[in-house]
């Protein structure tokens, strides 16, 4: 469904351990000029509509209706200059806005 790089796994373990949480939610929201923006946050509330992907010390949580957006995608931890963050590399994107804050998917 979604692949995690070694750097993303290491950072996810570090962050979940530090915060005392086990679940990271990936998702999309309608927003931005291209249509959708990614969500990467701790998952405090789980529902029956969530899909859990276990990675040992943590889990990735994706709402079942949004799984289609993440098929074949990869989550990485990248350093760009002084900034560090999780980054989703997604072959399902058909367009991203110039500032990189939102994307479009072929549905």
Question: DSSP character for 93?
Answer: E
- Which carries the bigger pLDDT value, residue 23 or residue 101? 23
Average pLDDT over residues 41-63: 94
Domain carrying residue 76: 2-105
Whether 89 contacts 77, CB under 8 Å? no
* 104 — pLDDT class (breaks 50, 70, 90): confident
Give this prediction's pTM: 0.86
Residue 11 has pLDDT above 80, yes or no: yes
Q: Dmax of the chain from CA atoms?
A: 40
Structural domain tally of the chain?
1
What band does 107 get if pLDDT is binned at 50, 70 and 90?
low
Q: What is the CATH number of the domain that holds 51?
A: 2.60.300.12
| Whether pLDDT at 14 is above 80 | yes
Q: How many other C-beta atoms are found inside a 10 Å radius of the C-beta of residue 43?
A: 20
**pLDDT of res. 95:** 65
* Mean pLDDT score, 29-51: 86
The string of DSSP letters for 28-55 reads EEEETTTEEEEEEEE-----TTEEEEE-
pLDDT of residue 78 exceeding 80, the answer is yes
More confident residue, 93 or 49: 49
């Amino acid at each position: 469904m979604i692949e995690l790089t070694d750097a993303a796994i290491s950072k996810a373990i570090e962050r979940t351990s530090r915060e005392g949480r086990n679940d990271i939610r990936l998702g999309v929201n309608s927003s931005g000029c291209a249509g959708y923006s990614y969500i990467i946050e701790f998952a405090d509330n789980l529902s029956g509509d969530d899909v859990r992907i276990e990675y040992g010390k943590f889990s990735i949580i994706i709402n079942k209706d949004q799984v289609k957006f993440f098929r074949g995608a990869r989550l990485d931890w990248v350093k760009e200059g002084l900034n560090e963050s999780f980054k989703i590399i997604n072959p399902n994107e058909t367009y991203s806005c110039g500032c990189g804050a939102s994307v479009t998917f072929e549905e």
